[in-house]
Structures are given as C-alpha cells and as structure tokens.
Structure 1
C-alpha cells in the first residue's frame, strides 16, 4: 500500500499519472491488494520486479462487467486478462457480427501476435468457440480446473464450467508464446480482488 502523505506530496507537485512500486522478491504481477488499491486510484501501475519494469493498465475487474460491444466484450476481457498477466495484446477495431461479413478476426490474427495452437488447455490459454457460426467468433480464457472466463452479449462477464455447451462448441485452443505459468497469478489475483 502507498503512504497517504506521499500521495498528497505528489499531488502538490502536479497531476499523478501513474503509481510505481516494487516486488523485489515477489511475483511479477499485481497482488490482490494491489488490484484493489489500483481500482481506487484509477491509475496505471508500474511494477518493478524480477521481470523488469512492467506497466499494468487500470482495467475493470474481470468478473461482473456489463457487455458493451467493442469496449467490454469477449476480446477486451481476454486482452485485459493478459494485461494483468504482464502482456500487451493489440487493440483491434472490428464491426459487430464481423463473422457474418466474411471476416475471421481471431484465426487470422492470433498467429500474427504470438499465439500458436495446442491440443490440451492450461491456465491462461485462449479457448476459441463457435457460436451459431462456421467461424470461431467467441473467445474465453481457460482458468484451469475445467473453468473458463468469458463475456457473452447481454450478460455479465463470468466464470463457467468448460464442459457441455462450451466444450461442444470449442473450435481451437491457443497459447501465447511468451506465456509463463507464473503469469496466471495476475489473472487469479484480479479474480480474488474482484470478489472480495
């Protein structure tokens, strides 16, 4: 946590635009307490750790988001989950119902941005799902223990069992080439912070 006096002193010097702190012997991701405090500041946090200096943008908690196409949807949930794990994915501009207009947004772009296909999911992998389409038009993040994190239209973002319906409509599984198993702690810590 930060010192309130240091915060006031910083504000006296001008606008506070980010908060920098360190985990010298700890994880290279924000802790649950860090995520709660970051939400209070509404600022990007920079973390100095064994990974070096990494920026963590202040994204909404992963669970309980209101759906807003192009702003808070399945891709932005995946992108924000990866940001909390210390990885920056590109911003894509896409039309609503792009899969009905001959586009293949995910399958065309995942390999270009460091993802490769795997057969069995591990925590942090991306699950590509086909919903009423011949194209993969929905993405989810695999949480392990047969659970996924995703965001469907007209629903809050949530975690659900990766079985039955979702497993039946699975198109493919993708892994990020720079992913390390410890990166998943960034996602896990947000799930803990967002539910407390």
Structure 2
C-alpha cells in the first residue's frame, strides 16, 4: 500500500556536515569519517498522495581517490558507507483516503538505523597550498529497510537518492604538485 521504493521522488533533500581524514603522502587516496545531518522529503505522487519526511544523523566511512594528468584539477571518486540514525520522521497524507497510511509522526515505525552505501564522482580543484574544492554528483541507496514491516509497508523497502555534491577541503600539509610545489616537497606526477 505504501512502498517508498515504488515512487522515491526525492525533493528538497539536503545534507550538511563535517569530515576528517588522512591522505597518503602521494595525495592520491585518502580515508575519512565524519558526521552529517540529512533531511529527505519523498513526494509519493498523486497515486499515493503523500509526503514522507525523514531526518537522519549520518556517520560516513569512506575514501577519496584522485586521478588525472593535471596538477590543479583532478577527477575524484568517493565510495562510502554511512550508518544513518533516524532522528525524526513524519508522514503527511493529503489523499483523504482512509485506506492510506495515516498522517502523523511515524518515527516509531521507521528502522532506527539504516545502512547507506554511496558513490560520489566529480572534479577536485586545487585552491592553493592547503585548500581544495570538490564539485560532483553522488548516488546513494539504502540496503536495509527504511521502515519496519507492517500492514502498510512491504517486507522489502528502501530508497535511492541522487544529489549534487559541493565540498570544501582544508589540508594540513601542502597539496601543491609539479611546478607549483615548493622546494624539497613531494612533487608528484606532473
């Protein structure tokens, strides 16, 4: 009757947070973790006539891999897995159909923890000796159920999300490469 995997129309989806990690000396691969707050609004469409609002506290674990021939611009791939702890959930039923899932706070009917792998990709721009900017896209999918099974929800339920990514990085060590690198510094591939 109500399955988020059938019509996962995400709208006004927003994630913000901070991450900390370590890059190898070659600055090709790094590992990170952090904390993020994510808000999902799923418009179920005219057939379902409802909006599911979900808020999560996310703990991501991932890697950032850089590649490319240019000193100041690299292509990045960012695989990660997040543990998502539900902090709030509400369902707004505007269909006025009594057989539909009722409106109200439905946090108790959501799984308390969701596992969400993701894959981001885009461009990594060097912005000086210690700063970088990432601009790209990210696709994520929950591999565990969003909801506890009930009379309204099938046993298997999950959702898929696509998003634009914008990240600002600050590095403790100098990240300049090639001709831009200072003397006696790892210069990397040119």
Specify the TM-score bucket, using the shorter chain as the normaliser.
under 0.3
Q: Which has the higher strand share?
A: 2
Q: Give the TM-score of the pair, scaled to structure 1.
A: 0.23
Q: Which has the higher helix share?
A: 1
Q: Give the TM-score of the pair, scaled to structure 2.
A: 0.24
The structure whose Rg is larger is 2
